[in-house]
Amino acid sequence: MNQGEPPRDERTRRLMMAALDGEITAQDRTELDRLLQADAALETEWLQLARLKEVTSDMALRRPSEEVWDRYWGGVYRRLERGVGWILASLGAVVLISYGLWTGIKSMFGDPELPMFIKVAILAVIVGVVILLISVIREKLFTRQADPYKDVVR
């Protein structure tokens, strides 16, 4: 066996696939015929695969109605539009929430009647949420880009 050539069983399988799919050379076809003649189990397997090939060759993917193609770009365009909508809505919400928080914190700390432990607790919640957000954003932006397995489909 030459270096880089698959093991015998693997080669036989590939020969059968190539023969079924019309991608076999005359020389390989002769080799396959010789292998089939010499091995009854292999011939049985070959006949099963050939029958399956007949079945799959008679099948095709179901075509949708022509209307689907007429409306297709509309579906893609709506997704693009919604993407822009989500970005604008999210940015706006971030600005408004930040402003609301800032105003709330200012008035809260300026209120002499509010107990100190409440002020500290609210501050802890806000700082905690900010840390969590920064952590998630950092993971999305930096860690994922450096992840060598990010393109591996799970």
Partner 1 sequence: MEVALAADQFTGEHQLVQSAQRGDAHAFGELVARYMRRAYFAALGLVGSHDDALDLSQEAFARAFNARQRLDPERPFYPWLYQILRRLCFNFLRDRRTRRTRLEAATPWLVEDIRDRARAGDPARLAERADLRGRLERAIDVLPEREREVLVLREFEELRYREIAELLGIPIGTVMSRLYSARKSLAAALGEDR
Part of the chain binding partner 1 (CB under 8 A), chosen from 10-18, 93-101, 107-115, 133-141? 10-18
Distance (Å, rounded) from C-alpha 151 to C-alpha 144?
A: 10
Neighbours of 16 (CB within 10 A): 20
Distance (Å, rounded) from C-alpha 100 to C-alpha 114?
A: 19
Distance (Å, rounded) from C-alpha 71 to C-alpha 127?
A: 48
Find the shortest distance in angstroms from Cβ 44 to partner 1: 11
Q: Which of 69, 99, 109, 142 lies at the binding interface for partner 1 (CB under 8 A)?
A: 69
Q: Is 55 in the site for partner 1 (CB under 8 A)?
A: yes
Using the minimum distance from each CB to partner 1, give the nearer residue, 64 or 148: 64
Q: Is 13 in the site for partner 1 (CB under 8 A)?
A: yes
Part of the chain binding partner 1 (CB under 8 A), chosen from 55-63, 98-106, 127-135, 138-146? 55-63
Part of the chain binding partner 1 (CB under 8 A), chosen from 20-28, 103-111, 117-125, 131-139? 20-28
Which three-class secondary structure state does DSSP give residue 147? coil
In this structure, what token pair is assigned to residue 33? 């015929």
Any residues with CB less than 8 A from the CB of 37 and at least 6 apart, and which? 43
Distance (Å, rounded) from C-alpha 127 to C-alpha 101?
A: 11
- The letter for the amino acid at 72 is Y
Helix (H) or strand (E) holding 92: helix 66-109
Using the minimum distance from each CB to partner 1, give the nearer residue, 17 or 132: 17
Q: Is 10 in the site for partner 1 (CB under 8 A)?
A: yes
**Chain contacts with partner 1 (rule: CB under 8 A):** 6, 10, 13-14, 16-18, 20-21, 23, 48-49, 51-53, 55-64, 68-69, 72-73, 75-77, 79-80, 83, 153-154
